[in-house]
Amino acid sequence: MNDNLTPYIKKCKMGDRDAFRQIVARYRQMVYTLSFRLLCNEEDAEDATQESFIKAWESIKRYDESFKFSTWLYKITANTCYDRLRRRKREKFVEIGGFELHDSSNIEEAIENRELGLLISKLTNGLSAKQRIVFILSDIEGLESAEIGEITGLSSGKIKSNLHLARKQIRKRVEGYEN
């Protein structure tokens, strides 16, 4: 499952920091992307990325190699972001303008981090931390329900209900701005 990663993981388990450096170099973009998509903020995403890797280093001895390493790392990242989202308590509900998306060419346009953060924020603002995580993992990261279950620890039913509520709320907002 983690064929070419196994030697690095074994070294990490023995306390080899250089091996862990290799792992960080390989997965930092993945962790950062998830953090950014969940937190919608560059600074917070960087902090969460660092925190997630530090947590991973601290618990790598307990990592079971029969599981996919990326899923394990996703789990740590999702938990780190979940804590941060909860700490934020209630995000200030900013007055959000309409979604400026008039022609399909916009999709190909490269958008800046700030714009992307704002767009995700617009979409997911008002969702609970759980709904946001489930929605991002499922509809944005494209993960299967089983993997989301492994990451979040939620049952299949709860994943479905959270996802349904999140989608419904987002659709309602998109619709609201359209009118």
Partner 1 sequence: MRTDIGKYDLLIEKVKSTTPEMRSPERVMDGVMAGISARSYKKDSGTLIRITAICASVAATLLIGLFINESIGVTAKEENREYMQRRDVVFYGELRSGRNSVTDLNYTGILKSRIAENQSISKLYYNISSRHIN
Does residue 146 belong to the site contacting partner 1 (CB under 8 A)? no
What x-and-dash track marks residues 67-106 binding partner 1 by CB under 8 A?
--------------------------------x-x--x-x
Distance CA 165, CA 5 (A): 37
Out of 5, 8, 19, 32, the residue judged to bind partner 1 by CB under 8 A? 32
88 Cβ contact partners less than 8 Å away, ≥ 6 residues apart:
none
Distance CA 60, CA 66 (A): 13
With respect to partner 1, which residue has the nearer C-beta, 61 or 89? 61
For residues 52-71, which are near partner 1 according to CB under 8 A? 53-54, 57-58
Does residue 119 belong to the site contacting partner 1 (CB under 8 A)? yes
Does residue 178 belong to the site contacting partner 1 (CB under 8 A)? yes
Does residue 50 belong to the site contacting partner 1 (CB under 8 A)? yes
Q: Which range, of 73-81, 82-90, 125-133, 166-174, touches partner 1 by CB under 8 A?
A: 166-174
Does residue 33 belong to the site contacting partner 1 (CB under 8 A)? yes
Answer left, alpha or beta for residue 111, where phi above 0 means left and psi between -120 and 50 means alpha: beta
How many residues in the shown chain lie near partner 1 by CB under 8 A? 42
CA dist list (Å): 145 to 39, 49, 106, 134: 22, 24, 30, 9
Q: Quick one: tokens of 126?
A: 């008002």
